[in-house]
A and B are shown apart, each in its own frame.
Chain A
Amino acid sequence: MPESSLRELRRSGASELADVLSVETAAEPFSAASWEDPDHWIMPGEIGLGGRSLVAIHTPGHTKGHYVFDDRDSGLLFSGDHILPHITPSIGFELGPWGMPLGDYVDSLELTHRQPDRRLLPAHGAVTGSSRERAAELLQHHEHRFDEIVDELSPGAPSTAAGVAEKLPWGPGADGRSLVSTRSTK
């Protein structure tokens, strides 16, 4: 795990968890030299694939470089991990520094919601009927979570992000376990 991610955890008030992960990281060092560069970088715009044409749309959020692919002729959206039918993609979990991943994700959902409706072909789960409808559901989901967090930020009760997370119904403390003991499952 990069030092930048450990810094983010410490910034969140999860120093104990960062310490544990730091030890685990030292045991399995990461080497960028183990990875090849891409053969070709995709840019936003039309891509010809034989007799088919897709429009590449940059949708950062789940990852910085996430793209979806719009098959206008067939009314299909290859949505990758941007829009999933039954779960929400993880946000803010990508390694390395990043400004505001959830802000980018919300912007990407709003972008998808403004696009023509498509049949959704996600990276996980079944093919579903409406890209715009699911984008709206995910936007609503995150607005609900914003409200839940705001409710925990009562005046006079400052806390760290880790402390807030432990109070939330979807957080690591929901079942009474500690942050460290839940690190691999939450």
Chain B
Amino acid sequence: MIAICETLAHLDVLVDRRLAVRKSGNGAERFSLASAND
């Protein structure tokens, strides 16, 4: 569980830095390296 929480914490920062983009899909959050405006 800690690894998941830490990964999510890192992903939130990457989204904030516009290095990853969060998308909705299949009932869960998904991530990609697409354009921050995607």
- Nearest chain B CB to A4 CB, angstrom units: 12
Please name all residues of chain B whose beta carbon is closer than 8 Å to the beta carbon of A154 when the two chains form the complex.
Answer: 33
**Knowing A161-B4, A171-B3 touch, does A146 contact B28 (C-beta < 8 A)?**
no
- B11 engages A164 (CB within 8 Å): yes
B36 at the interface (CB under 8 A from A): no
Question: Digit string of A7-22 for contact with B (CB within 8 Å is 1, else 0)?
Answer: 0111111110100010
A161–B28 alpha-carbon span in the complex (Å): 9
A60 at the interface (CB under 8 A from B): no
**Knowing A158-B31, A160-B28, A164-B31 touch, does A146 contact B10 (C-beta < 8 A)?**
yes
A157–B11 alpha-carbon span in the complex (Å): 15
- A146 engages B13 (CB within 8 Å): yes
- B28 engages A11 (CB within 8 Å): yes
Residues of A within 8 A of B (CB): 8-15, 17, 21, 90-93, 100-103, 106, 142, 145-146, 149-150, 153-162, 164-165, 168, 170-172, 179, 182-184, 186
Report 25 cross-chain contacts, Cβ distance below 8 Å, ordered by A residue.
Answer: A9-B1, A10-B28, A11-B8, A12-B8, A12-B28, A13-B29, A91-B6, A92-B8, A102-B9, A102-B12, A102-B13, A145-B10, A146-B14, A146-B19, A149-B7, A155-B32, A158-B31, A158-B32, A160-B28, A160-B30, A161-B11, A165-B6, A168-B3, A168-B7, A171-B3
